[in-house]
Amino acid sequence: MSAQEEFFKHIPKISYKPSAGPADLWCFKHYSAEEVLMGKSMEDWLRFSVCYWHSFCGTGADTFGFPTLHRPWNEGTPMEAAKKRVRAAFGVKYYTFHDRDMAPEGSTLEESNRNLDEVTDLALQLQNQTGVNVLWVTCNLFTHPRYMNGASTNPDCHVLAYAGAQVKKGLDVAKKLGAQNFVFWGGREGFHSILNTDVGAELKHMANFFKMAVKYKEKIGLNCQFLIEPKPKEPCKHQYDYDAMSVIAFLKHYGLEEHFKLNIEPNHTTLAGHSYEHDIVMASSFGMLGSVDANTGSADLGWDTDQFPMDIRNTTLVMKTIIEQGGIQPGGLNFDAKVRRESTNLEDLFIAHIGAMDAFARGLKNAVCMIQDGLLPGMVKERYTSYSHGLGHKVVLGSATLEDLEAYVKETGEPKITSGKQETFESIFNRYL
CA atoms within 13 A on the CB side of 283: 31
From CA 177, how far away is CA 123, in angstroms rounded?
Answer: 8
Q: Is 97 helix (H, G, I), strand (E, B) or coil?
A: strand
226 binds ligand XLS (CB under 6 A): no
- Pick between residue 112 and residue 239 the one whose CB is nearest to ligand XLS: 239
- H helix count then E strand count, the chain: 17, 14
189 makes contact, choosing from ligand XLS, Ni ion, none, with CB < 5 to 8 Å by partner type, with none
Q: Is 291 helix (H, G, I), strand (E, B) or coil?
A: strand
Residue selected from 304, 319, 328, 337 as contacting ligand XLS according to rule CB under 6 A: 304
272, 277, 279, 283 alpha-carbon torsion, rounded to 10°: 180
Question: In the range 34-63, which residues lie near ligand XLS by CB under 6 A?
Answer: none
Backbone angles phi, psi at 183, to 5 degrees: -105, 140
Q: Determine the residue type at 216.
A: Y
- Smallest gap from Cβ 281 to ligand XLS, in A, equals 19
- Smallest gap from Cβ 229 to Ni ion, in A, equals 5
99 binds ligand XLS (CB under 6 A): no
384, 387, 388, 392 alpha-carbon torsion, rounded to 10°: 160
Question: In the range 283-302, which residues lie near ligand XLS by CB under 6 A?
Answer: 293
**Stretch 311-340: interaction string toward Ni ion, x if CB under 5 A:** -------------------------x----
- 7-24 burial by CB neighbour count: b if 16+ within 10 A, else e? bbeeeeebebeeeeeeee
**Stretch 187-206: interaction string toward Ni ion, x if CB under 5 A:** --------------------
CB 116 within 8 A of CB 139: no
Residue selected from 94, 185, 308, 350 as contacting ligand XLS according to rule CB under 6 A: 185
- Pick between residue 37 and residue 134 the one whose CB is nearest to Ni ion: 134
Identify whether 205 is a catalytic site residue.
no
Q: Which helix (H) or strand (E) holds 423?
A: helix 422-431
243 makes contact, choosing from ligand XLS, Ni ion, none, with CB < 5 to 8 Å by partner type, with none
- Smallest gap from Cβ 187 to Ni ion, in A, equals 9
Question: In the range 127-146, which residues lie near ligand XLS by CB under 6 A?
Answer: 138
Backbone angles phi, psi at 212, to 5 degrees: -65, -40
Q: Which residues pair with 50 in a beta bridge?
A: 95, 335
Q: Which of 10, 30, 70, 98 is catalytic?
A: 98
Candidates 28-36, 122-130, 292-300, 396-404; binding stretch for Ni ion (CB under 5 A): 292-300
- Smallest gap from Cβ 120 to ligand XLS, in A, equals 18
- Pick between residue 277 and residue 293 the one whose CB is nearest to ligand XLS: 293
335 binds ligand XLS (CB under 6 A): no
Q: Which residues pair with 333 in a beta bridge?
A: 48, 292
What are the E-state strand segments in 85-232? 94-98, 133-138, 181-184, 190-191, 225-228
Residue selected from 99, 202, 304, 358 as contacting Ni ion according to rule CB under 5 A: 304
- Rounded to a whole number of angstroms, the CA Rg of the chain reads 24
Q: How far apart are the first and last CA of the chain?
A: 43
| Cis status of the peptide bond prior to 232, with omega within 30 of 0 | no
Candidates 93-101, 190-198, 300-308, 388-396; binding stretch for Ni ion (CB under 5 A): 300-308
394, 395, 398, 399 alpha-carbon torsion, rounded to 10°: 40
Residue selected from 99, 189, 265, 358 as contacting ligand XLS according to rule CB under 6 A: 265
- Smallest gap from Cβ 428 to ligand XLS, in A, equals 34
- Pick between residue 202 and residue 304 the one whose CB is nearest to Ni ion: 304
Candidates 31-39, 113-121, 171-179, 261-269; binding stretch for Ni ion (CB under 5 A): 261-269
Q: Binding residues for ligand XLS, per CB under 6 A?
A: 98, 138, 183, 185, 229, 231, 265, 293, 304, 336
Active site residues: 98
